[in-house]
Amino acid sequence: MYYGFDVGGTKIEFGAFDEKLERQATERVPTPGDDYQKLIEILAELVAKYDEQFYCEGTVGIGIPGIEKAEDGTVLTVNVPAAKGQTLRADLEAKIGRKVALNNDANCFALSEAWDEELQDESVVLGLILGTGFGGGIVIDGSVVSGKNNVAGELGHIRMPIDAWLQLGDNAPIFDCGCEKKGCIDNYLSGRGFEMLYTHFNGENKKAIEIITAFYDGEETATKFVDNYLEMLAMVFGGLFTGIDPDVVVLGGGLSNFEHIYEEMPKRVPKYLLSIANPPKIIKAKHGDSGGVRGAAFLNIKR
């Protein structure tokens, strides 16, 4: 069995998957604040419980909103205080007596989609999250690409490319980023960035869903804003697709539900690619909120 944990700020979701990658068990428990030992105990107890239920020693994978530091295995995370600065993977391995795989939740999202039956034959799958932030994950031949420092796929912290910056016009805002840099695409392409840009240019606070509704209603301000955003999105996508050259791109996060994106990107992206390149398929994620725990479980699968 493949066990996956999606460790979030308020809850831990557990999932057990069989050899056909079909889910056989689900359990959710609260994340224990800043009590690290309690966190380890909860994870170990769930592993033991389902080992007994399934008469096996399942493989264990963990997805977390953070990054494991390559040098010493400590976890950099803001949303899970109990795990911050701790060697979570190594400590759980010592507790349960087996190997544990750990990766960023955006990578788990991408891996979950890449192992969907319809995408398993695709060599390079790029997962992009248009949510509270802009995140990503790169999966090649069924395995996450983490890189030397475990930051591969942190595409939200690439700076805005010059053509996308110029698309914003003379009054372009320079947004500070949580990574302590300025101008990261996270603050422009995410659902949060979508709202921030609208406020900056139109002087009115609106939720993304309100802007999108106004767009579909033909409201002039919303229509102009959405057109500008989509062109900027296509410019950034063009650069990412040139560097990664994926077979398929899967979009997740709240803004990925904006259907107009899928109509416009195939028309807008090609002019920002090399002349010999064709754009990848761009599709909506299938597994939604369950993607984190699925992807965590699949960290131990090899094609």
- Binding-site members are 4-11, 133-140, 157, 177, 179, 184
Whole-number Å distance between alpha carbons of 213 and 52: 50
Whole-number Å distance between alpha carbons of 103 and 244: 20
Rg (CA), the chain: 20
Find residue 135's DSSP bridge partners. Answer: 129
Scan for tokens 């033991």, then name that residue: 48
- C-alpha distances (whole Å) from 56 to each of 49, 200, 246 are 11, 56, 37
DSSP conformation letters of 105-173: HHHHHHHHHHTSTTTTT-SEEEEEEESSSEEEEEEETTEE---TTS-TT-GGGSBPPHHHHHHT-TT--
- CA 302, 128, 147, 271 torsion: positive or negative? positive
Residues flagged as binding site for Zn(2+): 157, 177, 179, 184
Residues flagged as binding site for ATP: 4-11, 133-140
Query: Which residues lie below 8 Å from residue 92, measured CB to CB, with a gap of 6+?
Result: 40, 43, 44, 60, 62, 100
Whole-number Å distance between alpha carbons of 187 and 181: 11
